[in-house]
Amino acid sequence: MAKHRRTPAPSRTRIRLATATATAAALTGGLLAVSATSAGAADSVHHPQADFNGDGYGDVAISAGDATVSGKKQAGDIVALYGSASGTTSTKRTTISQDTSGVPGTAETDDGFGWSSAYGDFNHDGFDDLAVSARWEKVGTDVNGGTVAVLWGSASGLSGGTTITDPAVSSHDLWGKALASGDFDGDGKDDLAIGSSSATVHVYKGGTTKSASLGGRYTVRPDIVSGGGTGPLSLFAGDVNGDSRSDLVVNGFETDSDMGYNTNYYVPGSDTGLTTSGAQQLKRGIITGIGDVNGDGFGDIVTGQEWDPDLKNADGSTVTVPGSVTGGQIHITYGSGTGPAAATDISQDTGNVPGGSERGDWFGSELSVGDVNGDGYVDVAVGAAGENLDGVVNAGSVTVLYGSAEGLNTTSGSQFFAQSTAGVPGSDEKDDYFGSEVKLADTNKDGKADLVVGAIGENGSNGALTYLPSDGTKITATGSRSISTSAAGVSTDGSPRFGANAAN
């Protein structure tokens, strides 16, 4: 029996459906995390970037989920790029597949190892670890059962791994299709939330060891559709209500809608972990970051809703998705002592935000949060991978919006980057999808977040990364560099799509 696969797109989830019956027209998403993407400034434990080797430089883990490994198509790799005084480079890295020594499993065709990942110090030894799934792995006779492994951090970086065994193989598929790390019970240890095709999220408490001893497990079930290709499409963690416990944002399809519209649910942490008591429905979108953009001590939920208002169903009919706008938008739902509070929306037509809202831009298809200028306000990088520039279709772009006491500043100071921006490596090319992933992390240890951008369509879907450092006040092209698929140690056989998703 052939594995069921959706058409790959530059996406954290590889699907961009606004309703359960709509045809995917847009792309991008990964990595992910949930991810600094998913960490809030007010979070007690889950720090804004990974540090796998404990040297104080922020590290970035990037997927090549469709990479060929040992001749096996779409087996998948993940690449850990270790930070340095020069920021993110290809010289300090570890490229890992299921054929890497010490990693559980074996590289097989269509496994998709690396498409989903999340970092956290799961064994509490001072080094961040990396949870990685192979969501299409065959488990026994269960086609697409999926597997999750934790790759262990150390002074030399990531090495070896331990399987997080699926406790309910027969009740769902796609184990590990969504992952997030956070301290949901406030005990000072990172927990791991794992999604599958079921609406039930399994949470492994901090204390997992290399010998597969687990700190405990429980489940939480938000009000989303279960079964098939549904369940959580993405998971993101951060402290929204300021109680020093991570909360979880779960993305999925509504159960109370005939069309199965996409939505998000806020699930708060507590002394005993995540609980649906106090859960709230949020605005729509796929990718979320949680960070304190207005400096009030509460994590704010930033979500991208990239699709246009009129999407096509499989039968050719048109559906209008509630709350959507042409070209895409992001929603900022401000945190408070009682959880999510007031919300505001930003598109490329808002204030002096660069560019303009055009059909198929996919503004908000990816985003990441981090403090670029060290002023204590979290800033947001927003991908628009479908942006057309000077007639070049799907060249892609990234906008950086800066935090302030009033929230994200849409009046002045915003930045716009494409491969045609002076100093940025490369050039605008058809279907590059620059901005198909964005990741803010302090990779050169100067206390300011730098920007890593994925272009999943570069060089015939080989993919590539662009590093754009902070100069202390803003993101700059000075000192930027490109990291190719081959430089990252990933095979260019087939279409590896390096740079699609970053660990959250």
SS3 assignment for 146-204: CEEEEEECCCCCCEEEEECCCCCHHHCCCCCCEEEEECCCCCCCCEEEEECCCCCEEEE
Are 248 and 267 within 8 A, CB to CB?
A: yes
Are 291 and 370 within 8 A, CB to CB?
A: yes
Helix (H) / strand (E) containing 452: strand 450-455
Tell me how far apart the alpha carbons of residues 220 and 205 are, in angstroms, rounded to a whole number: 13
Nearest by Cα to 263 from 340, 357, 336, 326: 340
- pLDDT digit string, tens, across residues 106-125: 999 999 999 999 999 999 99
Q: What is the pLDDT of residue 214?
A: 87
Are 330 and 303 within 8 A, CB to CB?
A: yes
Q: CA of 295: how far to CAs of 42, 113, 298, 353, in Å?
A: 10, 37, 7, 21
- Gyration radius of the chain's alpha carbons: 20
Tell me 461's DSSP state: H
Report the sign of the C-alpha dihedral through residues 417, 421, 422, 428, in that order: positive
Strand-by-strand arrangement of the 280-282 sheet: 234-238, 247-253, 262-267, 280-282
Tell me how far apart the alpha carbons of residues 184 and 194 are, in angstroms, rounded to a whole number: 13
Residues comprising the chain, all counted: 504
HSE, CB side, 13 Å, CA atoms: give it for residue 133: 35
Q: Residue type for 481, please?
A: R
| 3-state SS, residue 459 | helix
Q: Is 22 exposed, middle or buried (0-12, 13-18, 19+ CB in 10 A)?
A: buried
Tell me how far apart the alpha carbons of residues 474 and 448 are, in angstroms, rounded to a whole number: 9
Q: Is 460 exposed, middle or buried (0-12, 13-18, 19+ CB in 10 A)?
A: exposed
Q: Residue type for 342, please?
A: A
Q: Residue type for 61, please?
A: A
Phi/psi-derived region of residue 45, left when phi > 0, alpha when psi is between -120 and 50, beta in every other case: alpha
Nearest by Cα to 178 from 157, 203, 153: 203
Counts for the chain of helices (H) and strands (E), in that order: 1, 29
How crowded is residue 209: how many other Cβ atoms within 10 Å of its Cβ?
15
Range list of β-strands (E), 322-433: 329-333, 343-346, 363-370, 379-384, 397-401, 415-417
**Tokens 């999808």, residue?**
433
Q: Is 130 exposed, middle or buried (0-12, 13-18, 19+ CB in 10 A)?
A: buried
Residue numbers in the chain where pLDDT is lower than 50 = 1-17, 21-42
Are 317 and 62 within 8 A, CB to CB?
A: no
How crowded is residue 169: how many other Cβ atoms within 10 Å of its Cβ?
16
Q: What is the pLDDT of residue 458?
A: 97
How crowded is residue 191: how many other Cβ atoms within 10 Å of its Cβ?
31
How crowded is residue 78: how many other Cβ atoms within 10 Å of its Cβ?
32
Strand-by-strand arrangement of the 450-455 sheet: 434-441, 450-455, 464-468, 481-484
